[in-house]
Structure 1
Amino acid sequence: MNFKKDQIGPICEKLDVKLTSDEQDLEGKALLKVVMRKFLPAGDSLLEMIVINLPSPATAQRYRVETLYEGPMDDESAIGIRDCDPKAPLVLYVSKMVPTSDKGRFYAFGRVFSGTVRSGPKIRIQGPNYVPGRKEDMFIKSVQRTVLMMGRYIEPIEDCPAGNICGLVGID
């Protein structure tokens, strides 16, 4: 872009990209980054594609319940998952343990398939090696806090209903 700086003005005009005078003074990679960021903002574009192309949790869980749940399809949990029901029994899948600023502590990051998770109640946790009918790799712990995880920021929330993702403190 350095050697074609005189062509950038007309290109930006055609793309409806408006540069400030400070941005027009940039050169090389810095100028390319500014033009591309204004032409196709990654965050907004990605969010728009997600909203347009991915089904809502209520829609997706209706046809994926058999993949998500191994128990009988007519029990309370399966029906809650299928309907993405915030009043059904809690079913949550923890996909990642994220380190906190407290040494040795983690946020359990996961998606609520049915029910509503909140601070206080005791929940059953089935570890990765859990076998139905056995008590090995199954724990009962209290959720100390429920948090919303937005990039590197954490915001405490009261509860998190079915169809959402959140972080839990106290189940590590």
Structure 2
Amino acid sequence: MTVLDKGEAEIREFIKISKTRPFVVKDQGYLIPKKCVFNRIIGDSNLELRFANYLESCEDIVSYVKNYFAVHFKIDYKNADGDISNFYPDFLVKVDSKNVYVVETKGREDLDDPLKIERLKQWCKDINEAQTKIRYSWLYIKEDDFDAQKLHSFKQLITLFKE
């Protein structure tokens, strides 16, 4: 069987983050957010917690969410083995009522990461062509690059990390 990405996207349903069912997480470091509907932000890595803390300080965003499995936002992609896999980007950041950024943070890259980002780019392009209510953009934040910056706004992040 040959898998071919035809560059199409469809909106199957809109996800209302505030309707996410409660879920249990393992006991680990967390952040108490003010700009997110969840009562705690649990990061899969220290980078994710630091990034969430940075988002809390950004006065130029409305809100954000850590994209837990319970949120059910995923993008399918063809992995390095040629199989179909699901990609769960790390964060969704709402800049205003018409602009949302899908953000992937990354400490150490693996073989699938470039494939995920290419798929994310294509997904944003396709979804923006399929609807005009919200504009979706993507950002890929590498840990070393993030740590090298002294950022004070989300706009600065966009300027530095948007291709």
Confirm or deny a common fold (TM above 0.5): no
The structure with the largest strand share of the pair is: 1
Structure having greater relative contact order (Cα 8 Å, sep ≥ 6):
2
The structure with the largest helix share of the pair is: 1
TM-score (norm 1): 0.27
TM-score (norm 2): 0.28
